[in-house]
Structure 1
Amino acid sequence: MTTKVILVGGGHAHLHVLRTMIEERADQVEVLLISRSSYQVYSPMLAGYAEGTYTKDQVQIDLRKLCSKANVPFIQREAAYINTNSRKLVCKDGAVYPFDMLSLDIGAKSTQKLSGEIASMKEDIIEQIDTLRESHYPLIVSGDPLGVELALAIQAYKRRLSNKGHVRLLSENRLCESESQWTQQKILRILKKNDVQVWENESVQAIHDDHLLTEKNNKVRYTGLLWQGRPAPSPLYERSELPVNAKGFVENLPTLQVKDHPYIFAVGDGTAIGSKFKHSDSEGHAVRQGELLWKNICSSLDDSPLGEIQPQKRSYSVLSTGDQEGLLIYGAVSVHNKQAWKVRSKLDQSYMNYFHND
């Protein structure tokens, strides 16, 4: 009997499952991918795109093409909720898909406390970057490493093309707050050296057409705005009545199964386990989850014991700082040079080639 498995979302753990299926087929499994978008952007390379180092095609994966290679049907629809009693996935347009097993890799949304005032902003991050690069005073509201990388990359792009204006960066907390204080100070010095104006520990109180107001009554002007709030869980979890933690992220076990629902798996940074990882570690963690996810799906077919995700030992990360330079971070130690960026670039391109090449 064939087991119907639905993969919801084109996150990196699911990408790894699809890539594995190109090389090894499981005849007793019928897999289907459902995603709201037909492309998956690889966020570690967005700074390279913003700076003009990479093209659009180099930083995103065509889900239709990857599914075709894996002989997996692709359906572009947005999942609304899961009927856990009847084991059916219901999409926003009313389409219903029955399943035996299901895996969620839908990521986390960006929180928008003032959502009504910024509803007109584009969701496509590539389009937003294109707009910001041509804006005189782009403002990025973010405190995570990606926000820092994009600010430095767009500033480097402007400098290289002699475009007018400077990038501005605002965070409600300390920038890269999960890093050591020494590393945070080094990041601030790099931003200052590159003429990126920074506001830290200031939350936004109101947004207007050309400026926003902070809780400290600062008026921050902008000609283009990119809002990258804190990660927030998908409303699908609540609609499906799945168990969630205090922050609303779905509760998944070390086996990646959703608590109390052994036939549903959940992976990525929209889960209780995934949300604990720093942004710089999230992509590597997604790959490890993808490897375990496929093994556990296959093990479930014959009632074999499932494996568990293991905590990773401390590893290094590289923050892209523009002009093809990088800040290599290992614990409290950090080194800033071009070699660090070359290491990061080689790893990123190797990862993408894994999906782009036949």
Structure 2
Amino acid sequence: MYTVLLAGGGHTHLEVIKSLSAERDPFIRWVLLSPDRYHYYSGMFSGYAEGLYSLDEIRVDLKQLCLDKKIDFMEVAVESIKPDQKKVVVSSGQILFYDRLSIDVGSHTAPDFIEGLQERQVHIKPAHLFPERMEVCQLARELVIIGGGAAACEMAFSFHAWKEKRGRKYDVITVISSGPFINEQADPVIESLFRQKGIQFYKNDRAIKVDDRYVYTENDRDIPYHEVMFLGGAQAPKWLEKSGLSTDEKGFVLVDATLQTVDHSDVFAAGDCAALATHPHLPKSGVYAVRQGKVLAHNLVASLKREKLNDYIPQKRGLILLATGNKEALALYGKVVRFGKLAWLWKDWIDVRYMRKLKKLSD
């Protein structure tokens, strides 16, 4: 009997679980390890923050899904791995041994390069922390979001829409970006929408320090806040660097095109926690993580059977659908930018359909 440990309930591992049929190899035992019994779908975070979706609509019950798929489920967090000994230490104190290990533990937003931020920010990752942290941001009189990518912009728009619907017109939302928001095609539209909605923003200025009252920037700005949130890019879980696995300069696990780690053929990694050696600049996005699932599912089994492994080849460009509040959105694909209600309907259809398919697996 072989044991395959799936560490983390991220997008890629959900796709692996989906692919497992009743006729699968009976000599392979599958075990999912997750610190929470629910998977929260990040693509619907902004809609939840705005009040468009309920908590149940944005999450999947991993425990029930595993029960229906005849997979063992353990509600534990991975604390360390010993790849040379093929063992994993989890938060319950147990030591688990494996024949194949796959890591899909995502990323977090807790950087240590901004003084004072770690202990003062509202953490929304790991994803299972998300629901309980949203209310403090919704009710904050002064909310500062550090970051300039799609996630930072989307959450600023969503919190603004939530506040607007509740008459909180004196609340202030500020976005601080160290560079452009998205690109030269999208930024003029985003900036125009920020101005229309009264969302303050500072581009090409870097947050360097946070104390109990202000966020300080390189350009000598002192921005007051009640709550501060960092959405300036994925950060690697600290334990990965101590795992004995090779990592890139940011601490993400290095994998080759087969999603195997570059120095341990019995350990795989996918999603945000992995860095693809063949595509080192691949964005951390669920769009890519989901598509890794089919390759990962095949390769985990094929590696046990000593069969040919498949390569994961990312699509050349990914579609970005960025919600801007009040059921409007930006559609970004390469240099093409479209704004309006149709883009939001497109996003809503994709997200709701994805979640319905996942929930049907455990019905």
CA shift, 1:93, in A, is: 4.6
Q: CA 1:93–1:315 in 2, change beyond 3 Å: closer, same or farther?
A: closer
Q: How many residues were matched structurally?
A: 352
* Higher mean C-alpha displacement, 12-21 vs 225-234: 225-234
Question: What residue is the counterpart of 1:141 in the other structure?
Answer: 146
1:128–1:115 CA distance, 2 compared to 1 (3 A) = farther
Alignment of 1:206-221 (within 5 A): 206-221=209-224
The aligned runs of 1:247-326 (5 Å cut-off) are 247-273=250-276, 276-279=281-284, 282-326=285-329
Specify which of 156, 162, 166 is matched with residue 157 of structure 1.
162
From the superposition, tell whether residues 184 and 120 of structure 1 become closer, same or farther in structure 2 (CA, over 3 Å): closer
> Does the 8 Å CA contact 1:142/1:228 hold for their aligned counterparts?
yes
Indicate yes or no: 2:40 matched with 1:41: yes
* 1:241 alignment partner in structure 2: 244
What secondary structure, in the 3-state scheme, does the structure 1 residue paired with 2:271 have? coil
Structure 2, unaligned runs of 5 or more: 124-128
Conserved in 2, the CA contact under 8 Å of 1:269 and 1:275?
no
Query: Is this contact kept in 2: 1:17–1:291, CA < 8 A?
Result: yes
Q: CA deviation at 1:135?
A: 1.6
TM superposition score normalised by structure 2: 0.91
Distance 1:310 1:17, change over 3 A: same
After TM superposition, give the deviation of residue 237 of structure 1 in Å: 2.4
Secondary structure in 2 aligned to 1:4? strand
Asked if 2 retains the 8 angstrom alpha-carbon contact of 1:22 and 1:69, the reply is no
Identity of aligned residues (%): 29
CA RMSD of aligned residues (A): 1.9
Q: Relative to 1, partners in 2 of residues 1:348 and 1:117: Cα closer, same or farther, differing over 3 Å?
A: closer
SS of 2:20's equivalent? helix
Question: CA offsets per residue over residues 82-123 of structure 1, 9 Å max, x none?
Answer: 112221111245320011110000112222324655425453
Structure 1 unmatched ranges of 5 or more: none
TM-score when scaled to structure 1? 0.93
Partners of 2:237 and 2:280 in 1: CA distance: 12
Name the counterpart of 1:168: 174
CA displacement 1:149-187 (0-9 Å, x = unmatched): 0100111111122123132111222212xx3x1212221
Can you list the C-alpha shifts for 1:282-321, whole angstroms capped at 9, x where unaligned?
A: 2221121111111111212321100000131334321111
More divergent stretch after superposition (221-230 vs 288-297):
221-230
Q: Equivalent residue of 1:154, what SS?
A: helix
Residue 129 of structure 1 and its aligned partner are, at CA, apart by 1.8
In 1, distance between residues paired with 2:104 and 2:353?
Answer: 22
Q: In 1, Cα distance between the equivalents of 2:308 and 2:180? A: 43
Are 1:41 and 1:61, in contact at CA under 8 Å, matched by a contact in 2?
yes
Residue 113 of structure 2 is aligned to residue 113 of structure 1: yes
Q: Report the CA distance between 1:24 and its aligned residue.
A: 5.0
Distance 2:62 2:92 in 1: 21
Of 185, 189, 193, the residue aligned with 2:188 is 185
Structure 2 SS opposite 1:262: coil
Question: Do the aligned residues in 2 keep the contact of 1:300 with 1:306 (CA within 8 Å)?
Answer: yes
Moved over 6 A (4+): none
Deviation by residue 1:245-265 (Cα, 9 ceiling, x = unmatched): 233221101011111211111
Residues 149 and 321, structure 1, Cα contact 8 Å, conserved in 2: yes
Distance 1:50 1:276 in 2: 29
Letter in 2 for 1:46: F
SS class of match (2:272):
coil
CA deviations over 1:327-351 (Å, ceiling 9, x no partner): 1112112111100110110000011
